[in-house]
Amino acid sequence: MRIDLLNEMVEEFSKTYVKPLARSVDEEERFPAETVELLGKYGLLGLPFPKEYGGVGADTKAYIDTVRTISKDCATTSVIISAHTSLCSSPIFMFGSEAQKAKYLTKLNKGEYLGAFGLTEPGAGTDASQQQTKAVDFGDYYELTGSKIFITNAGYADVYIIFAMTQPELGLKGISAFIVEKDIKGFTVGPKEKKMGIRGSSTCELIFQKARVPKENLLGKEGQGFKIAMQTLDGGRIGIAAQALGIAEGAFERAVSYVKTRTQFNRPISKFQNTQFVIADLKTQIEAARGLLYQAVADKDENRNYTVSAAMAKLYCSKVAVEVSDKAIQLMGGYGYIRDYEVERYLRDAKITEIYEGTSEVQRMVIAGKVLA
């Protein structure tokens, strides 16, 4: 793949394969399996990882540009890419042994495997340290018992990064991370949740009943799980910020083209100052969000700590996604509210970006924690 031509290729890919399906994927709540297969074939499931592990060898920026471009057309498709890349391949790349990278990362990067991440539990959402899933050491294997909820790509993923307590008495220092294959005995996936937005993406419960995970599938060291989760989420939050910015841009482009052609009182509504002022404000918000997103990307690519810049990017980009898609509907009036014009989908899809991979309140905790330290 020519990395210098990646953005053009992704735009073409999205226009050809993603955009035409976006509406039906939403209406039918259908996981776009055929698109995921193509994403793998085009190398778009292994962008920021070295070629020696089957990746493309691009940087975070190239990956983030891709998530953003695809989000302009379909946020269901972009969250599949983001959960796979940021939440599954990335922790294996950062913390995995060479054997784990050879076994899993190569297949994930080539799209032969799809990845997912299981941290959230019924009683451990924002307070991720309260893990109840237990992993008991039986020598050659760990036995996992417990459940995870709201897991993106569940049921379609081949590999899951799962967090569980190996030493509950140590609190968050007793949490460990595991690479779990889909077919192990004692592991089942619950029914698909019915959601407000990103309705084609699969979100399910994962149930572990004495599921045996081989010892060699411990990711990192015992007790390192919480840090692995937090570092993974730092990267994931940049992915969701990119998704949010893409949603905002997609809704904005639709609104701009609408106001230029919609005529009322004998002139296009773009000639009214109210329209112009709203468009100016939305454009300014989008560019401010872009600045924060690409600052976080640069921090990651240039090996600076990006915990806070990722949190700020996600906090602001998700707010902008909700506001821009809401205002886009308002500019389009009744047409904006009906499904044929699609901007209502952008608002429904935007809302989750304020919730998953850490709510906006969590991002504020992370930012304020640093500022006030």
> Cβ 233 to ligand CAA, closest distance in Å?
5
Examine the residue annotation and report whether 357 is marked as an active-site residue of this protein: yes
Residue 257 touches ligand CAA, criterion: CB under 6 A: no
Residue 357 touches ligand CAA, criterion: CB under 6 A: yes
DSSP-derived secondary structure for 40-100: HHTTTTSTTS-GGGT-----HHHHHHHHHHHHHH-HHHHHHHHIIIIIIIHHHHHH--HHH
Residue 268 φ/ψ region, left for φ over 0, alpha for ψ in the -120 to 50 degree band, beta for the rest = beta
**Measured between alpha carbons, how far is 297 from 288 in angstroms, rounded to an integer?**
14
By CB under 6 A, name the one of 48, 111, 197, 358 that touches ligand CAA.
358
By CB under 6 A, name the one of 156, 160, 226, 252 that touches ligand CAA.
226
By CB under 6 A, name the one of 89, 120, 275, 285 that touches ligand CAA.
120
DSSP letter assigned to residue 193: P
Residue 227 touches ligand CAA, criterion: CB under 6 A: yes
> Cβ 41 to ligand CAA, closest distance in Å?
24
Q: In the chain, count H helices and then E strands.
A: 13, 10
- The residue type at 43: G
Closer residue to ligand CAA (CB): 233 or 293: 233
Closer residue to ligand CAA (CB): 95 or 104: 95
Angle between helices 60-73 and 75-82 (to 10 degrees): 150
Closest to 24 (Cα-Cα) out of 77, 78, 83: 77
Sites for ligand CAA among residues 312-351 (CB under 6 A)? none
Residue 75 touches ligand CAA, criterion: CB under 6 A: no
Give the tokens for residue 177: 């991370």
> Cβ 126 to ligand CAA, closest distance in Å?
5
By CB under 6 A, name the one of 31, 150, 163, 258 that touches ligand CAA.
150
Question: Interface with ligand CAA by CB under 6 A: which range of 146-154, 161-169, 273-281, 324-332?
Answer: 146-154
Closer residue to ligand CAA (CB): 3 or 367: 367
Residue 160-189 contact track with ligand CAA, rule CB under 6 A, x = bound: ------------x-----------------
**Measured between alpha carbons, how far is 54 from 110 in angstroms, rounded to an integer?**
6
Residue 48 touches ligand CAA, criterion: CB under 6 A: no
Angle between helices 307-337 and 360-371 (to 10 degrees): 150
Residue 147 touches ligand CAA, criterion: CB under 6 A: no
Contacts of 78 (CB under 8 A, 6+ apart): 67, 68, 70, 71, 242, 243, 246
Residue 296 touches ligand CAA, criterion: CB under 6 A: no
**Measured between alpha carbons, how far is 33 from 29 in angstroms, rounded to an integer?**
12
Closer residue to ligand CAA (CB): 217 or 243: 243
Closer residue to ligand CAA (CB): 288 or 368: 368
Helix/strand/coil percentages in the chain, nearest 5:
60, 15, 25
Q: Tell me which residues are annotated as active site.
A: 357
Can you give the binding site for ligand CAA, defined by CB under 6 A? 83, 117, 119-120, 126-129, 150-152, 172, 226-227, 230-231, 233-234, 307, 356-358, 362, 365-366
